Structure formats: C-alpha cells, structure tokens
Structure 1
Amino acid sequence: MSQLLLSLFFISLINNSISWRTFMRGRSKYGNLGVPTLSKDQELSSDEWFTQFLDHFNPTDARVWQQRYFVNGEYYKKGGPVFLMISGEAAAGSKWMKEGQWIEYAKQFGALCFQVEHRFYGKSHPTSDLSVKNLMYLSSQQALADLAYFIQLMNSNYKLPKDTKWIAFGGSYAGSLAAWLRSKYPHLIHGAVSASGPLLAEIDFQEYYVVVENALKEYSEECVNTIIKANQQFHIMLRHPIGQQGIAKKFVLCDPIDSGHTKSNDISNLYETIASIFAGIVQYNKDNRNNSAMANLTIESACNILTNETLGIAVDRLAILSTKMLNASGEKCLDYMYSKMIHKLRNVTWASEEAEGGRQWTYQTCTEFGFFQTSTARPNLFSETFPADFFVQQCVDIFGPRYNIHLLNSAINRTNILYGGLDLKVTNVVFVHGSTDPWHVLGITKSPNRQMPAIYINGTAHCANMYPPSKNDPPQLKAARVEIGRLIYQWLHS
C-alpha cells in the first residue's frame, strides 16, 4: 500500500476525532440556503449545504454543486470573530465542531465556528464521478476559491458586521491551505493558524524517511539497527521459495509470493508498505487522538518490540509489529499486490472505497504536489525499491500516460510559483511544526519576520497543537498553544 494512502488513514483519524479501504474509516436532500440563525442548542452534527461554482476560473461556466459544511454558534458573542476550520483530504468530521484546541480558542474569543469540507472529499461531490475529465476540477486553487465564496456568503447570510475578522485553522494539507488562503484572499481572511502544513512541492520527498530514522534513533539506536537487520533478512528470504513462504506467513500476506508471477512493482509495494508502518508511527507519535486503535502504537512501543530478542530474530520482530498494525486497522491480511492497488484506484465511482480519498489525493499529488516519500535517502533502512520513479509510475498507471514525469515536473514548478514555496510572503500567519513530524522539512520552521511567526515544538508530531489538550501534554506543547492564543488575540485587536 502506498504511503500516500496510509497517510490518508491517519489524516482521517484526525478528521473523525479532529481514505482508503477500512483504513479510512445527512440529509437525503440538499438544504436550502436561507438566512441561518444562531442557537446555543443547535445540533452540532447536522450537515449544512451551500451552492458552489464548479469552476471558479471560468466565468462562462455557470455549473454549480452543493458543498457540505458544519456550524457551531454556541460560543459566539455578538461582534466576535469567525473561526474557519478547513477540512483537507478526507471527509469533514462533526466531532471537530465540539472539540480540539480551536474550540478552546472559540470559547476564549467568543467565535462563531465553521468547518468546510474540501471539494471531492467526504460528501462534497461536485461531479457525477471521479473520472479524469472531472478530476480536473480538483485542485488547491479551486478549494481556496471555494472558501473565499463561502466566507462572502456567510458574511451575508449571518448578517455579520463588516469589520468581522475571520481566522482560518488547518492541519497537514489543510494547514497549507490556511496559509495560502490568507496569502491569496487577505481581504477575507484576517489571520491563519497553519499546523504541520507543507509549503514546498517536491517530487522526491526523500527527507521524509531521514526524519523517521532520526526520530527512531533518538529513542534507541538499537531500534534502527534492528530495522536494518530485519530488512537484510527480509531481502535474503525473498530470494528463495522457502523464504518467500516464510514472509507470506509471518507478515500475513493476502497473496503468496510467487517467483513466476510476483512482479517487481509488487515487491516494491511490499517494501513500501512495511516502511509505512514506521512512517505512521513516527508521524503521529503520542498524539491525542481519542478512541483510536492506533493510540498505543508509539515510537517507544514499536522499538520495545523490535529490540526484544526473546521474540525471535529481527525479521520476526518486524512481522509482529506489522501484524499489530493490521489488527489495529481491522485488516485480515496485508495486501501488497500492485495490480490490485492500481485496479482499485482506477475505480471512478463515488460508491467505491477509494472515493473516500485515495483516488482524489493521489490525483492531487500527481498534478500539484508530488510529496512522494521515497526510500532514496535511506536504502539500507527501508530498501532501495521505492524511489520516485515507483510513484510516478503509479500516476501513469492510474490516470493515463499523460500523467508522467514531464507533467509532474511542470506541475511542481507551477505550484511553487503560484504559492511561493518556502519563500511565501504573508502576514498574520503562524506556522506550527513538530520536530518528530517528517512534514516539517517542507514547511516554515523559523520565523522570517515578526508577521510570520514560526513555532517549532521539540518532541511533538503531526498537528499535535490541534488536538484537545491533555494532562500528559509536554510543557513545550502547552506553551505553544498559549503562544498561538496570544497571536490570535494580537490579530483580533490590531
């Protein structure tokens, strides 16, 4: 399974306590717009809908669709600000309307809260299917324009004072959107909290696994050495029929490894799937996801398994960790076959499991961002079998021959020109990153100036500042949340 898709699994956990297969796990009629009313006993989990343009950049195209959003007016005080939670590459979750650090800020500042679902994700279906001709309307630019039109409409529908200030919040890809929204539409958004948002588009994101290795090594160098040994043993076993049978049994593979039928892409996918275990554990280490089956899978617990020699040789310990991940996700076996993955991601119907986010996010990476977490920089740790070419081939196999390296190079260059990459110039945006989160490499971690403050939190992972506070939060995370609150106060009173 591609690491891109595994990332969606963890992102969806954010959205569902803040998709792909079982990893990612309203109303029958679209509601009329009308003039909303704010009520403290408002049902927070109900879907709301508003009319949106399909193509914001073609004034001759009048096609529209219905986009989903959530609203919470429980903490709103007349004249207060409006907080906008941007939903990213998974379904929006009503749970975010009742918890999360942004709700604590809403209580503090008397804010009206909205969450808008990203086009093509969740229930926000702009087109009849996910065919390539329709996915051309899926882009960060269109998503930002969706938010701009939403803000304008809510200002009118809620009869908000003209001097009402909107503050955007987002994590991961949505964190990027929050920063870009302030940059592109400063007349509509007064400030933004960008958590763990990658700003630099990059095809070969080889730095990702460098951070993963460093995070594991910081806890235990023996842990990293065990992974290297396990990889070596895994590689040797793959060369012989008996070893292949052993891998299939130890790692509970859905399909046996057959020298005559198993292709090189299958083996690359298998290696990349195993590496993804560590990617997920490190990226979300010790976060405050509530009721998550993954909550106990931390760097510490993973390394304790890997370094426990009573559990067998290194590859046996790696298999035990892999099985734990399978059990936590509810999967019966490890599906590594490349052809199966591609076949599923070619499904264009909204009823497919991939419609929960896998096909859409893969399209965005193939046409805007890259973000391919390759093994290029750490071949001894995770093998040399999934370089950038492996992921570019997926773009071609899923979407067609046009989506090749030439298109991708052009797309990456275009994205960085449109948004500025790490040279983004903007005001009233705070960039928040954790040292354990590999995505911080593509973000702003040092303040270029006072109007673009960066908060780099040692020892925390992806979007850590967004989760509900916990008594177990380290002091540096608590301090970061306080500092973000101070900045929001400063923006609102400037």
Structure 2
Amino acid sequence: MVRHLLNMKILPWTLIVFVLLIFCNTSLAWRRFLRGRSRYNLGYPDVSKQINLPKELWFQQHLDHFDPTNAKSWPQRYFVNSEYYKENGPVFVMIGGEGEANATWMVEGQWIEYAKQYKALCFQLEHRFYGKSHPTSDLSVKNLVYLTSEQALADLAYFIEEMTHLHQIPADTKWIMFGGSYPGSLAAWMRVKYPHLVHGAVSSSGPLLAQIDFQQYFVVVESALKTHSQACVDAISAANNQIHIMLHSPLGHQNLNKKFKLCDPIDPSGTKRNDISNLYETLANNFAEVVQYNKDNRQSSKIKNYTIDTICDILVNETKGIPVDRLAEINSLLLEANMEKCLDYKYSKMIDELRNISWKSEMAEGGRQWFYQTCTEFGFFQTSTARPKLFSETFPVDFFIQQCTDVFGPRYNIHLVEKGVERTNILYGGLHLSTTNVVYVHGSIDPWHALGITNSSNIQTPSIYINGTAHCANMYPASADDLPQLKLARQQIGKLIGKWLE
C-alpha cells in the first residue's frame, strides 16, 4: 500500500501525513500498559496556563560505576529550576523513572509548591536508558547489563557531586529526593545507600519489595472496583466466563473478533495458547490501568477521563446487553481514547516488538527497558493467580517467565529471575529498610501499595496511607476535586520536609 502511495502524484507533506496516520492508527493496547507501567509513565501535571519550561541540559556520566577500569561515559539529561532558590536553601531532586523525563514537572506539581515554601533549588535527572539518556548505541542484552537500579542510584550520587561543584552549592546543604512509583523506590534507596549525600526522601507509591508473583496486584484492582459495587465485579466475572465459552466455537471466535475489534482473528485451531493468555491479560489490564490512575491529575492521556465509576456504570447497566457486550464497550472506549483502531493481542507481535534493540523502535520509549528490569531485578509480574475466576487463570507466573526467555534469551529463565529478585531484596532490605528521614506515601486504590510500606510506627520513617486515592496522587498539582485526606497528606508531607530542614 505504501509503495502504491509513493507512485501517486501527491504533495510530499500530504504523503507523510497520510503514511503517519496509517501507522499511528494501528493498535498499541498492550504497549500502552505493560507490566504495571503506562507508556505515559507519570505523564505530566495538568497545566491550565501558558508556562515557560526550562531547557534540557547534559552532563557526562560514567557508564559503569562499579568498574573503575571502565572509562566510558555518556551524556545524561537533566533539568534545573533556580527560580525559587534562596541562599542557604535546600536542593530538591525529582528522580526520573521508566520513561522520558518531562520539563513540566520543573514548574508544576506538589514538589514545586514545597520548593516555593522552602526556597529550594530544583533538579530533575532522567533515568539512564530512558527518554533521551542513551548510555549505549542500542538496547541489546550486552548493553542492558548497565541498566540496573544500582547504576541509577550511583548516577544520582555522581550527579549530586557534579551539581554541587557546578553551582557552588555549600557543602552543608540538605538534599531531598522526590520520586513516584519506581522512582519512589529509588528515592528511599538513595537515603539508605547514600545518607552522606541525601538528607531526606519523599517516596510516593514506591514498591520496595521485589516479588516474582505479584498476585496481590489484581486483588487490589478487584477491591477498588468493589468500592463502586459488587455488581461491577460480578459483571467482569460473568463476561470472562462468556469469553471462555465463545473461545470454544468458530461462531464464538467471529463474535469475539467483532466485539473486541481484534487486529487479528483468533486462531481457529486453538493451539496458540499464548495468544489467548495475552488477550485475557490485555482485557484485565484495561481495568488495571483505569484503577491505577483513577482520578489523578495527569494531562498526558485521555484515559484520565475514564474512572472506576465510568467503567463500572457501564458494566452494571443491563440495558447495554449481556456482560461480554459491556466489557467490549469498555474496551472500545479505551481504544478510542488512545486513537487505536483495533486490539492487538498477538503474542508473537509483542515478542517481536520487544526484541527490537534499536533506539528508534516504539518499544525504546521504555517498554523493552522496563521489561528487562522486571526480568532481572524485580519480578513484579501481575498474575491472575489470586483471582483466576475473575480475570481467568491464563496468565500465571510461567506466562511472564516465558516472555523473559522469548525476548532476552534462554538464560533469562525462572532461576535468573529468582536470583535477581533475591538480590534486590538483600541489597535494599525489602520492607525492612533501616534509615531515617523518609516518608512512604501510598493510596489505597493503587495496586502497587501492596509491595510498599503502608503502616510504619517509626516516627523517623512514617507512612501516609491515603484512603481512596490512586498511584502517585500526592505528586500532582492540587485540584478542587481532591479528597480531604489527599489535601491533608500533602500538608503532612510538607511539615515533615520542614522538620528535616530544621
């Protein structure tokens, strides 16, 4: 088709736009939300006014902090905002995570409100291998060995030393780390591993316990949906049962292809079990994504317009047909919100995309990198193990381990994952961190709170558990619709930072 277009006498810019529309309208559903990670990552704050963003800056970072004989370096991206800084003020650092760093965070977000209050100098450091911070020529396995949380923490340590020198920051200045989700873990670990450099940390929605079978994830998703009604959960279970029945007949296949707008028809032989597992997991992730980011203030995705109430209102509305029809309607809504024409569930397509080692590939926006980190350090496999009757029994741990092997090679098997997870928990302490001046913040609706510290009696490392809020809700700018308990949590965090800075 593209070759045919090239032979047509049309303007170059028209051709470019047309071709882009062809490729951009293919489905990216499983890429949109993969292993608990949105392709938008934290997104960026909702900004209602026109603002001037700081320019991106670069400094030379070591490739391997743990091999002094390796002299290779690479340019790492960062941003700085000195607008609120006053002499002898603190330094705040927002840690980049498994996606591109966004300059909007340098002028908006709750941490900026704290910066205004305490006259802080603000930095944001992009995580190695994400965004524009490319330490190596490609994303091959031999290069991904430099993608670890340990290397990322050392990046931060060297960054602190470099910025201290570059900006002539006084030696007794207090540095405070901020991070949400995986960077929330990094923020806490920075205080643990580099206490001589970091004075305090705000760890938002950070999973601290590495775990292979993260079966609690969908338990929390179910609990969150129940805040609407038991009928909502029952409708999901009924819909999945109907899908199971439809998978056993050619007519059922045809109906599923049509209802869920599948990019490829279901294999009639029934031999491609991974395709079916991928289909079930993708449909389950429709709920996971909405729940995880329920009512946050992100601006980067139309998904934010759909909440638990939105999808559950559809599911319990019997005038919209049988349960599977209602489930299909939700799927169509989310496809449309992301400008996707069809649902891509084919296992082989996913694996092929994840195997692409080029920085120009779609998965280079963070999908391949995060996949690698889960296979080597964290696990975090959101299985259906604990809720097989609700989301099906088709995506247990073995399904995720096979993905690691298929993408990265045979040595990336269950034994390697087990060693990696064990090592991570030994390095950092799991849920038993020994430190001070860290606050752990979690929302009850956020599935990731199940691997974090939500009940700390230590006044030096308190936890704030916000009922009714989702992933990293405390990090976004305040909204008139914020729950009272979220407003209170932001105030509590601000007071804690003040105590650390006394």
Q: TM-score interval w.r.t. the shorter chain?
A: over 0.9
User: Conserved in 2, the CA contact under 8 Å of 1:8 and 1:357?
Assistant: no
Paired AA for residue 480 in structure 1:
A
Q: Is the 8 A contact 1:3 1:276 kept in 2?
A: no
What is the match of residue 219 of structure 1? 228
Among candidates 127, 142, 145, match of residue 133 of structure 1: 142
For the residues of structure 2 that align with 1:143 and 1:237, how far apart are their CA atoms?
A: 47
Pairwise CA distance, 1:163: 1.1
Q: Which amino acid in 1 is paired with 2:400? A: F
Matches within 5 A, 1:67-86: 67-86=76-95
Shift of the alpha carbon at 1:262? 5.8
8 Å CA contact 1:44–1:71 kept in 2: the answer is no
SS of 1:167's partner is: strand
Quick check: 1:434–1:464 contact (8 Å CA) kept in 2?
yes
Assess if the C-alpha contact under 8 Å between 1:175 and 1:196 holds in 2: yes
- Contact between 1:3 and 1:373, CA under 8 Å: does it hold in 2? no
1:410 — aligned with what? 419
1:163-312 correspondence runs (5 A): 163-260=172-269, 263-290=272-299, 292-312=301-321
- SS in structure 2 of the partner of residue 273 of structure 1: helix
TM-score of the superposed pair, with normalisation by structure 1: 0.93
Pairwise CA distance, 1:2? 7.2
Q: 1:310 Cα shift? A: 1.0
* Partner amino acid, structure 1, of 2:388: P
Alignment of 1:16 with 2:44, yes or no, is yes
CA-to-aligned-CA distance 1:255-278 (integer Å, 9 cap, x gap): 001223761000000000000011
**Displacement of 1:8:** 2.8
Q: Deviating runs (4+, > 6 A) in structure 1?
A: none
What displacement does 1:425 show? 1.0
**1:7 matches 2:7:** no
The aligned residue for residue 437 of structure 1 is 446
- Whether 1:122 aligns to 2:131 is yes
User: For 1:331-342, what aligned pairs fall within 5 Å after superposition?
Assistant: 331-342=340-351
2:330 paired with 1:321: yes
The 8 Å contact of residues 43 and 298 in structure 2, kept in 1 or not, is answered as no
1:454 aligns with 2:483: no
Q: Whole-Å Cα distance in 2 between the matches of residues 414 and 4 of structure 1?
A: 27
Letter in 2 for 1:232: N
Give 1:349 shift: 0.4
Residue identity matched to 1:471: A
TM-fit CA distance, 1:6? 6.2
Q: 1:208 to 1:3 in 2, by over 3 A?
A: farther
* 1:41-84: CA deviation from partner (whole Å, max 9, x where unpaired): x9633110000000000001010000000111111111111100
Displacement after TM superposition at 1:288 (Å): 1.2
Q: Per the alignment, in what secondary structure is the counterpart of residue 433 of structure 1?
A: strand
Offset, 1:300: 0.5
Q: Could you state the TM-score of these two structures normalised by the residue count of structure 2?
A: 0.92
Distance 1:404 1:432 in 2: 33
Question: What is the number of residues matched between the two proteins?
Answer: 469
AA aligned opposite 2:353: K
Deviation at 1:367, TM superposition (A): 0.2
User: C-alpha displacement at 1:284, in angstroms?
Assistant: 0.9
Unaligned stretches of 5+ residues in structure 2: 1-29
* Paired residues of 1:44 and 1:70 also in contact (CA < 8 A): no
Query: What amino acid maps onto 1:321 in structure 2?
Result: I
Alpha-carbon distance in structure 1 between the residues aligned to 2:239 and 2:109: 39
Cα distance 1:77–1:303, how it changes in 2: closer, same or farther (>3 A)?
Answer: same
Distance in 2 between the 1:416 and 1:190 partners?
Answer: 23
SS of the residue corresponding to residue 38 of structure 2 reads: helix
Answer yes or no: is the 8 Å Cα contact 2:469–2:486 preserved in 1.
yes
For 1:24, the equivalent position in structure 2 comes to none
Establish whether residue 425 from structure 1 lines up as the match of residue 461 from structure 2. no
Q: Any idea what SS the aligned residue of 2:87 has?
A: coil
Residues in 2 aligned to 1:445 and 1:463: alpha-carbon distance in whole angstroms: 14
RMSD of aligned residue pairs (Cα, Å): 1.4
- SS class of match (1:465): helix
Identity %: 67
Aligned to 1:84, what secondary structure does the other structure show?
strand
1:431 aligns to what SS in structure 2?
Answer: strand
Kindly indicate whether the alpha-carbon contact (under 8 Å) linking 2:221 and 2:288 is maintained by their aligned counterparts in 1: yes
Provide the C-alpha distance between the structure 2 equivalents of 1:43 and 1:295, rounded to a whole number of angstroms: 24
Opposite residue 5 of structure 1, the aligned amino acid is: L
- 2:24 matched to which residue of 1? none
